[in-house]
Amino acid sequence: MPAVPHDLCTPAVYLDHAATTPVRAAAVAAVTAELGRVGNPSSLHASGRRARRVVEESREALAAALGCRPGEVVFTSGGTEADNLALKGLWWARHDAEPARRRVLAPAVEHHAVLDALDWLAAHEGAVVELLPVDAEGRLELATLEASLARDPGSVALVTCMWANNEVGTVQPVAEVAALAAAHGVPVHTDAVQAVATLPVDFAAVGVDTLAVTGHKVGGPVGAGALVARRDLDLVPLVHGGGQERDVRSGTLDAAAVAGLAAAVVETVAAREQEAVRLAALRDELVRGVQAAVPDAVLNGAGAERLAGHAHLSFPGCEGDSLLMLLDARGLECSTGSACSAGVPQPSHVLLAMGHDDRRARSSLRFSLGHSSTAADVAALVAAIGPVVERARAAGAVAAGRG
């Protein structure tokens, strides 16, 4: 069988770890070992018991890494399912018990896995969704949350607040949010998908009620994630069937994926402190180099506590999508951080919520670093960004002249 060309396997420079990160060797080994074995974890014979042991040992390892009890870990297909199970399951349970509880409070910068789930609840279940403002750095304004809760606490079903933003990397005051909500008897969900790699994510310490994680952001397999949920929390299932996971999530457990998820999270958490320092230094070097090459490039979220590997910059006079494709042609991969609908680029809802105009929101790129990132990656970007921006601006000027 002919070898696969290198450029079809691994990009020359990968700067999109916030989208997904290379699978760790430990996760590959864990998944591969299980794929060669047979056994449904729900079966009672020896093969089933062996598979169940893999699942439960993985659950215990994940719980230890995330500061929760094993019985609080519900395995899912990833962060999106975990977010949906938490938000819809909590809303149904709370609203069914107390019909007056219809309000859901969320920062306007949440991931679409949260925002679209809330839109669905509003359109189909009568939920009243209140998107709360953030400051110029993308942080939730706690005074606004407190006022919203105090206005009519008996009408609030739940609060959701991501641990760290997937676009600009801003870290949210999740512990303070949980404390404010708890004072009014309101449960809190947090999407911690982006946080686990470089922040100390501790479920018990932060005081939230549910927490979503996924494997492929930390070097685990795609399609494996978990919802951490308090044991005494009432959640209505999204999917009905065998009730394999606490009767709130049905479906045959994928022992291989679960083992890979646990291996990746454990390895990530063990090296987190040192890795956060290393990535922050690389990120700062990247920002300095880009701004030296493009002096009017603007770093978004610079004044807030940010994820160590995130650098989100706006390039005046450019379209982010054009910059992305020009960099891609040079073997550098990054992201605009914006959503696309039917192939039509949309400005980042995160930057708009931070008070930036449409033009700035469309001129931005997200560079995100991870466990395989090197100084050579940063140097390659710094060398390429000046000519790329110059070319994008020239093309934009020509297009404007024709218009």
Q: Which tokens go with 268?
A: 């990530």
**Catalytic: which of 9, 161, 334, 340?**
340
Q: Which tokens go with 266?
A: 């454990």
Nearest alpha-carbon partner for 140 in 181, 103, 182, 108: 108
Place of tokens 């951490």: 228
Neighbouring residues of 16: CB distance < 8 A, sequence distance ≥ 6: 333, 334, 335, 366, 368
Q: Are 225 and 197 in contact (CB under 8 A)?
A: no
Nearest alpha-carbon partner for 107 in 43, 176, 38, 54: 176
Q: Which tokens go with 329?
A: 């042609």
Cα distance between residue 106 and residue 209, in whole Å:
15
Nearest alpha-carbon partner for 261 in 51, 17, 59, 35: 59
Nearest alpha-carbon partner for 225 in 98, 93, 73, 381: 73
Q: Are 249 and 237 in contact (CB under 8 A)?
A: yes
Burial 83-108 (b: 16+ CB within 10 A, else e): bbbbbbbbbbbbbeeeeebbbbbbbb
Cα–Cα distances in Å, from 160 out to 95, 156, 208, 281, 304? 16, 11, 9, 31, 20
Q: Which tokens go with 185?
A: 């008897």
Cα distance between residue 32 and residue 99, in whole Å:
48
| Active site (annotated) includes residue 340 | yes
Nearest alpha-carbon partner for 109 in 51, 50, 168, 65: 168
Burial 222-242 (b: 16+ CB within 10 A, else e): ebbbbbbbbeebebebbeeee
Any bridge partners for residue 212, and if so which?
Answer: 191, 227
Active site residues: 340
